[in-house]
Amino acid sequence: TMVVGGESAMRAMTTHGPQAKDAHLDREDLEPLKMFDRYGDLARRHFDPAATLEAMDTEGIDVAAMFPSFGLYLPWPEHLRADLATGLARAYNRWIVDFCAPAPRRLVPVAVAPLHDPTLAAREVRRAAADGVRGVMVRPNPIRGRPVGHEDHDEFFATMVELGLPVCLHEGTSANVATVGADRFDTWYGRHVASHPLEQMLAVESLIVDGALERHPQLSVGCFESGSGWLAWWLHRLDEHHALFAARDRPWLSRRPSEYFARQCIISTESEDEFVAATVAAVGSDHVVWASDFPHPEALWPHAVDTFCDGPGAALSEHDRAAIFWTTPCAFFGVDTTPPFAVSITAESGKR
């Protein structure tokens, strides 16, 4: 996630780390030549820290929370031994801290923590927190039959609360992880369109209905890169079923699902998200952040910010744009907002 700004504007967004040069993700748009066509010299430099900062400057972004690209896949397959999955995560987490070190106020490291063994995940998070990570990405998928909100993950969640780190849910379509649509579609097109929103929807349900947010009321959770249009309807449906069945099935839940989300969760929007105004109306701009998806091929760099401000974001108030671009993500990731950073969006579409 990135945070954007300048002397007259401050915005926030989500971004991804460098692409793995040899990763085969069954995506033609990630082939090196197509990435070179899309991003030119930035791609040829493998989106190293200097290139990433140049891209941020071009877009007008001050701060970026760095999410993984290849790290969405590497430590997550269910068949991996838990110690191997954790070891792969540790290697990535050390690397992302080093990647962000040249500009620690602008590049915010987000660790990864596969939940094959929640105790090992908690230990790795504690180690990574000492290195300075500001969030921990977890796949929303079930792991070894356990949904993300399962009570077996309580040690991990308790550690996150103790360390003051948010859980960042981010899907990454894969045949090696239990993924919605993987058993029904034989193309990236079919699997990808289903997996990102549906896995997030089911993860939110699990965190609420399986009681993780009840047991850990200080836990912060973000839903990233799944669109925002599903959220209001999903919370409405969860509330409806809570009224019908909670007394019988979950009598220990102390509040409605929408109230858990309001207390503990945020969701990301993107530059062409036509549903963002409805999402803000439903949950408030203090629960929404903007994400760029840079440097994936579908990202709209170098016009992602203006595309949002001149498009879907134009329907929002200046206050709401400022919250989505700056206040909410800064609070979620614990970003240092002291000067020289600015703290406002200009009235004209948030442009400098």
pLDDT in tens, 28-50: 555 667 778 889 999 899 999 99
pTM: 0.90
| CATH number of domain containing 326 | 3.20.20.140
First-to-last C-alpha distance (Å) of the chain? 20
pLDDT digits (tens, 9 = 90+) for 156-170: 999 999 999 999 999
Residue 275 gets the label, from left (phi > 0), alpha (psi -120 to 50) or beta, of alpha
- The total of structural domains in the chain comes to 1
Residue 336 gets the label, from left (phi > 0), alpha (psi -120 to 50) or beta, of beta
On whether residue 20 sits in a domain, the answer given is yes
Q: Average pLDDT, stretch 90-107? A: 98
Q: Which amino acid is at 103?
A: A
On whether residue 138 sits in a domain, the answer given is yes
Q: Which of 193, 224, 228 is nearest to 15 (CA)?
A: 224
On whether residue 348 sits in a domain, the answer given is no
Q: How high is the pLDDT of residue 249?
A: 98
H-helix or E-strand containing 136?
Answer: strand 135-138
Both tokens of 57, joined, read: 């400057």
> How many angstroms separate the CA atoms of 229 and 201, rounded?
11
pLDDT above 80 for 213: yes
pLDDT above 60 for 349: no
Query: Three-state DSSP class for 232?
Result: helix
Q: Which residue has the tokens 């700056």?
A: 326
**Containing structural domain, residue 152:** 2-333
Q: How high is the pLDDT of residue 26?
A: 53
On whether residue 351 sits in a domain, the answer given is no
What share of the chain in percent tops pLDDT 70? Answer: 86
pLDDT above 60 for 348: no
On whether residue 185 sits in a domain, the answer given is yes
Cα separations in angstroms, 219 against 10, 33, 149: 27, 42, 12
On whether residue 346 sits in a domain, the answer given is no
Q: Which residue has the tokens 């969860």?
A: 238
On whether residue 9 sits in a domain, the answer given is yes
The angle, 0 to 180 degrees and rounded to 10, between the axes of the packed helices 188-209 and 257-264 is: 100
E strands along the chain, which residues? 2-5, 10-16, 61-67, 107-112, 135-138, 167-170, 221-224, 265-269, 288-290
pLDDT above 90 for 18: no
